[in-house]
Amino acid sequence: MEKIDAHQHFWRYSPATHAWISDAMQVLRRDYLPPDLKPALETNGFAGCVAVQASQTEAETDFLLQLADQYDFIRGVVGWVDLRDPQLGERLAHWTQHSKLKGVRHVVQDEPDDRFLLRPDFLRGVAMLADFHLTYDILIFERQLPAAVAFVEKFPELPLVVDHIAKPRIADGMLEPWAQHMRQLAQFPHVHCKVSGMVTEADWQGWTPDHFKPYLDVVFEAFGPERLMFGSDWPVCRLAGEYDQVVQLLDDYLSGYSKEEQARVWGQNATQFYKL
């Protein structure tokens, strides 16, 4: 079984570029680079990772691809490109010359319009991704799920993955309407889901494994082990837990599943989805 961390980040910290890192997030206000992650990957038996964009610039996409050239364990990159750019075709042709660019993401969770995913200029851009054999990562808050359901229906040929189980309100113990919408999303066979980013949606200081079980039950029932993939969300996870703790959470939950099912969630699904 080859384990792949399907979701983590690298950055050279800059207050201007990383304005989302608030005063409450001091642990993130530093550089996080591949040599910082490598020991955690090795300790937990991971062969590689997928580096995902954290700021909306093509410069960052370039930065991540340069790191992927330097470090073999970065198996793929999910970058950013302006999907509303009239010259998007040219931009995608440029970026896909690099074999490790596997997908694109937009920080939709920060868009004030809850139906941003359905804007015509954005839809036009997303529709071009399949032609370039790219995937799309859906980063949203729970309130944006109704738009996401309408969004995924439009792209049956495009591999889609929901990041961070769509950020349910774990700290408040709220399951609905999140669970209902996730079950709707899972009805589309081309939609996958990352079991990632959960600890930062819980009470950072006070969570226990029991807080996550109802949410894990929903995604495992809805998507099955065939369409779920583990992501650490390192270093953002450090706001609420270290790498080992995030791995342990899922490891404990998966103990009731077969070795084959576990292997899918820990790496096979990510390898197939992103063509690593």
Rounded to whole angstroms, how far apart are CA atoms 56 and 54?
A: 7
**pLDDT > 70 in the chain, percent:** 100
User: Would you state the pLDDT for residue 123?
Assistant: 98
Report which residue type is found at 225.
Answer: P
Per CATH, domain 3-274 is 3.20.20.140: yes
Grade residue 204 by pLDDT with cuts at 50, 70 and 90.
Answer: very high
User: Would you state the pLDDT for residue 89?
Assistant: 96
Rounded to whole angstroms, how far apart are CA atoms 198 and 208?
A: 12
User: Would you state the pLDDT for residue 271?
Assistant: 98
Closest CA relative to residue 238, chosen from 14, 24, 80: 24
Grade residue 173 by pLDDT with cuts at 50, 70 and 90.
Answer: very high
Report which residue type is found at 124.
Answer: R
Boundaries of every domain in the chain:
3-274
Residue 129 pLDDT > 90 = yes
Closest CA relative to residue 148, chosen from 121, 176, 188: 188
Length of the chain: 276
Grade residue 212 by pLDDT with cuts at 50, 70 and 90.
Answer: very high
**In terms of DSSP bridges, do strands 3-8 and 228-230 run parallel, antiparallel, or are they unpaired?**
unpaired
Alpha helix segments (H runs only) across the chain: 34-43, 58-70, 88-95, 120-129, 145-153, 178-186, 213-223, 243-253, 259-263, 269-274
**C-alpha to C-alpha distances, 163 to 45, 198, 259, nearest whole angstrom:** 22, 10, 24
pLDDT of 258-272, one tens digit each? 999 999 999 999 999
Grade residue 41 by pLDDT with cuts at 50, 70 and 90.
Answer: very high
Name the phi and psi angles at 238, rounded to 5.
-65, -15
Whole-number average pLDDT of the chain: 97
For the chain, the maximum distance between any two Cα atoms, rounded to a whole number of angstroms, is 49
User: Would you state the pLDDT for residue 179?
Assistant: 98
Q: Structure tokens of 217?
A: 């039950």
Grade residue 1 by pLDDT with cuts at 50, 70 and 90.
Answer: confident
| Exposed/middle/buried for residue 67 (C-beta within 10 Å: 0-12, 13-18, 19+) | middle
Q: Output b/e per residue, 196-217; b: 16+ Cβ within 10 A.
A: bbbbbbbeeeebeeebbeebbe
Owner of token pair 């997030």: 25
Rounded to whole angstroms, how far apart are CA atoms 170 and 185?
A: 19
Q: CB-based contacts of 242: which residues, under 8 Å, 6+ apart?
A: none
User: Would you state the pLDDT for residue 73?
Assistant: 98
Owner of token pair 């062969």: 47
For range 217-244, the mean pLDDT: 98
User: Would you state the pLDDT for residue 16?
Assistant: 87
